[in-house]
Amino acid sequence: NKGSNWEKMTIPSVINSVNNVFVDRNTKDILISTGQRGGSYEEGGVWRSTDKGKTWQQIFKAPFVWQAETSPVDSELIVISAAGQQVSMSGEFMNPGIYLSQNGGDSWKKINKGLGQPDKIVDVRPDPYNKDVLWCAAWGSGWFISYLNGVTEGWAE
């Protein structure tokens, strides 16, 4: 109907805020980035549905995640941007910035090295042609590129 009507999707009741929606073009999995400043681990993070939104699994726990995307070249590669908290969280909170999974969300690695202001990431994307390249933009810091299989780890302007 050309966008005339919208249907509300079912999400876990613990989620208060959805910040970003991403559909993997290869697997058709849906990722939602959730949470808010001062939020909890239960409501925030990244959630995945493999059945068109009928059921959800939390694959990354953080109070506030802006964005999550899979690589169009390799769906096992997921990159997320976790936003900062205004309220201090317990010792388990992983601070803001970019996190990477290369095994479909089973484990995560923080990849902030070389980013001057990881709490101000406004966009992060896998390269559409090369699974070893990531792009990132940050308020007041510029535009960055990272080579995942490079000699040097980190980001370059």
Burial of 122 (0-12, 13-18, 19+ CB in 10 A): middle
- Alpha carbon distance 97, 121 (integer Å): 7
Residues with Cβ within 8 Å of 12's Cβ and at least 6 positions away in sequence, in order, are 47, 56, 58
State the pTM of this model.
0.87
* pLDDT at residue 151 in the model: 58
* pLDDT at residue 84 in the model: 67
* pLDDT at residue 153 in the model: 64
- Structural domain spans, the chain: 18-111
Name which of 1-5, 21-25, 64-68, 117-121 the model is least confident about: 117-121
State pLDDT tens for residues 90-148.
444 557 889 999 999 999 999 988 787 777 788 899 999 999 999 999 888 889 999 99
**Is pLDDT larger for residue 81 or for residue 114?**
81
* pLDDT at residue 77 in the model: 97
State pLDDT tens for residues 41-78.
778 899 999 999 999 999 999 888 999 999 999 999 99
